[in-house]
Chains A and B, each alone.
Chain A
Amino acid sequence: MKAMLELAAVSRRFGGLTVIDRVDFSIGEGEIVGILGPNGAGKTTLFNMIAGVLSPSSGRILFGERDITGIRAWDRCRLGIGRTYQVPRPFTHMTVFENVLVAATHGAKLSLPRARVEAEAVLERVGLADRAMIPAGRLGLLDMKQLELAKAMAMRPRLLLLDEIAGGLTEAECEVLLGMIGEVHESGVTIVWIEHVIQALRRLVTRLAVLAGGSFIAAGKPYEVLADARVKAAYLGT
């Protein structure tokens, strides 16, 4: 399998605190990798470094063949890295349609007329078409999470980073979201997915990795990883 994303000895320190400690990790094209880990394990920090919001204290990040360690967040979007935020980052005073339009015009670099068509299509796919003209600030939680996904999709990413997108949703809502994520994956997008909702994760992921104390303590097939004694100790507390 060709590697799409590679982390080579990536560390991140905040003052004296090492949040990510020399992580080596590789994600193959077409994979859908789930990342589990207790709170404070460094999951979001890891995403922030992949997306370019934070730069690593040391180590390198490769996307395809390219070293992207020093590249800004917006340029990584254009290379094909999309991400959703655990706490949604909507453009509150813009309509839902315009929110997606931003991603299509900037992330996917489409012209305005083409972006308009793209935004309409994406909104229909995620089921937000009937709310297209509402200011994004007025959406409920599920809609907000769907909007995060819609924005990420409109960027036409090759690699999609999902940060706890199922958190806080009811089971039925989660089901809707899982269907969409499955569809996105089938359309050829590689996905890395941080999630606490294990039931949701194990349904879709091809590989599961567990982050604890700043490094990966296990990775492999979901059922194997979940059965691992170290994982149980670190994460499930049993």
Chain B
Amino acid sequence: MRSASRLSLNLARLVCAAAVAAAAAAPLLLSQNDVVLLTEFMSMLVLAIMWNLLAGYADIVTVGQHAFVGVGAYAFFGFTALAGLDPYLSIPLAGVAALAIAVPAMALVFRLRTAYLAIGTWVVAEVLMLIAGKLDAFGGGSGTSLPISIVLSFGRTRGDRLAVIYWLAFALAATAMLATYVLLRSRIGVGLTAMRDNEEGAAAVGVNITYARILCFLGTAPFLGMAGAIITLQKLRIAPPASFSITDWTVFVIFNVVIGGIGSFEGPIIGTIVYFVLRQYLSGLGPVHLILLGSFSIITILVERRGLWGLVRRMLDDDLLPIAHKPSPAFRASALLLRAARR
């Protein structure tokens, strides 16, 4: 049983590594339509990873995540189309802008907790969207398109452009994953994981809850902002309701994380994959597909609070990507002996 589980775990890891390698080469392998879809997947993945970090670990259940996506989109447009900065440089700058907005937003919403915080984040997002609609240089309430010259700077032909934008999205998703992995493996991550399981217990053994929350809130903002920039590159335009879409950049993201498994590294990845697969096969059904998606997430949470990954994890010895810290091999060996002796 143990060895069978270990074998399937290692097989799964191999499949994942192959999938990442294939994803890196996707524009060379797939049709343009598929590349567009996969770009969208990468942006959604970034959003899911960030929401999971906030809601799943730091207990910041935000429903205003779209605020930073929108700020990123508008900042990207402002930097490159209005200020004339390099389009590539404008992507990380969009992240910086999101961070700059996150600081005052945090000062506001961190006065609230739980459901009040959720509403607070939503209000902040709505306010930012309304402000965006008042900016005439950005097309006001109806938004505006990205100038052709900027679009062309990402590639002369449509194929080249799609490939470049895809690779940007892929790089962002890969960085998001790597950063999350490094964070969760660190000293701070050990505390965050403890917070996920029992917040009062974590505080009682010395985990600085406030610091962890601040770190997560400010750490996720630049990623959300850069995702906003990449989403703008894909849609080729900004508009308040689209760039600040609560449905696309918050609600679906929550569904994905809940389905995949909140509070795990694997959960948001699995959830985003499931979401795209369902959407591909069910979108022909129209709004019914959303009803199915909603029902699916409710059923998942009723069966296993920790989502699909929680369900699978019960049968496995370890995580796909081992984040947990383990004692030294010598300690484990002597512990095994001790255990055998007790039996």
Residues of A whose CB lies within 8 Å of any CB of B are 51, 53, 72-75, 77-78, 82-83, 85, 89-95, 97-99, 101-103, 105-109, 111-112, 115-116, 119-120, 123, 129-133, 151-152, 154-155
Given A72-B210, A74-B206, A102-B190, also A85-B324 (CB < 8 A): no
Distance (Å) between the CB of B58 and the closest chain A CB? 14
Assess the A97–B202 pair: CB atoms within 8 A. no
Q: Report 22 cross-chain contacts, Cβ distance below 8 Å, ordered by A residue.
A: A53-B200, A72-B203, A73-B203, A73-B204, A77-B206, A78-B206, A90-B201, A94-B193, A95-B324, A95-B326, A98-B324, A98-B325, A102-B193, A106-B190, A112-B325, A120-B327, A123-B327, A130-B336, A130-B338, A130-B339, A131-B335, A133-B335
Query: In the complex, which residues of chain B have a beta carbon less than 8 angstroms from the beta carbon of A101?
Result: 190, 325
Give the shortest distance, in Å, between A173 (CB) and chain B (any CB). Answer: 15
Contact B198 A132 (CB under 8 A): no
Q: Specify which chain A residues have a CB less than 8 angstroms from the CB of B187 in the assembled complex.
A: 105-106, 111-112, 115
Q: Judge whether B281 is part of the interface by a CB distance below 8 angstroms.
A: no
User: Beyond A51-B204, A105-B191, is A94–B327 a contact (Cβ under 8 Å)?
Assistant: no
Q: How far is the CB of A73 from chain B (nearest CB, A)?
A: 4
The verdict on B208 contacting chain A, using a C-beta distance below 8 Å, is yes
Whether, in the assembled complex, B111 has its beta carbon less than 8 Å from a beta carbon of chain A, the answer is: no
Given contacts A91-B197, A129-B331, A132-B332, contact A77 B204 (CB under 8 A): yes
B2: Cβ under 8 A from any A Cβ: no
Main secondary structure of the interface of B (DSSP, over half): helix
Counting CB contacts under 8 A, is B156 at the interface?
Answer: no
Residues of B at under 8 Å CB distance from A?
186-187, 190-191, 193-194, 196-198, 200-210, 263, 306, 324-328, 331-332, 334-336, 338-339, 342
Question: Cβ of A91: which chain B residues have Cβ within 8 Å of it?
Answer: 193-194, 196-198, 201-202
Contacts A129-B338, A132-B331 hold; do A85 and B325 have CB atoms under 8 A apart? Answer: no
Instruction: Using CB atoms, name the residue of chain A closest to B339.
Output: A130
Most B CB contacts (10 A, CB to CB) among A75, A78, A132 go to A132
Interface-centre pick from A72, A74, A94, A107 (highest chain B CB count, 10 A): A74
- Knowing A101-B190, A119-B327, A120-B328 touch, does A155 contact B205 (C-beta < 8 A)? yes
CA distance A133 to B317 in the complex (A): 10
Cα-based distance from A74 to B201 in the complex (angstroms): 10
Q: Which B residues lie within 8 Å of A155 (CB)? A: 205-206
Which 3 residue pairs are nearest across A and B when measured between Cβ atoms?
A: A89-B201, A107-B206, A77-B206
CB distance from B5 to the nearest CB of A (A): 14
Given contacts A97-B327, A116-B325, A116-B328, whether A74 and B194 have CB atoms under 8 Å apart is: no
User: In whole angstroms, how far apart are the Cα atoms of A75 and B204 in the complex?
Assistant: 9
* Chain A contacts for B202, CB-based, 8 A: 91, 102, 106
Contact A151 B331 (CB under 8 A): no
Chain B's closest residue to A136 (CB) is B197
Do residues B326 and A107 form an inter-chain contact, with CB atoms below 8 A? no
Which one, B196, B205, B332, B342, contacts A106 given CB within 8 A?
B205
Contacts of A106 in B (CB 8 A): 187, 190-191, 194, 202, 205-208
Which chain B residue shows the least CB distance to A103?
A: B205
B190 touching A98, Cβ below 8 Å? yes
Contact B205 A97 (CB under 8 A): no
Chain A residues near B306 (CB-CB < 8 A): 93
Bound together, the chains give a CA A224 to CA B66 distance in angstroms of 66
Inter-chain contacts of A112 with B (CB < 8 A):
186-187, 190, 325
Identity of the chain A residue whose Cβ is nearest the Cβ of B203 in the assembled complex:
A73
Smallest Cβ-Cβ distance to A161: which chain B residue: B204
Name B205's contact: one of A75, A95, A102, A130 (CB within 8 Å). A102
Least Cβ–Cβ distance between A87 and chain B, in angstroms: 10
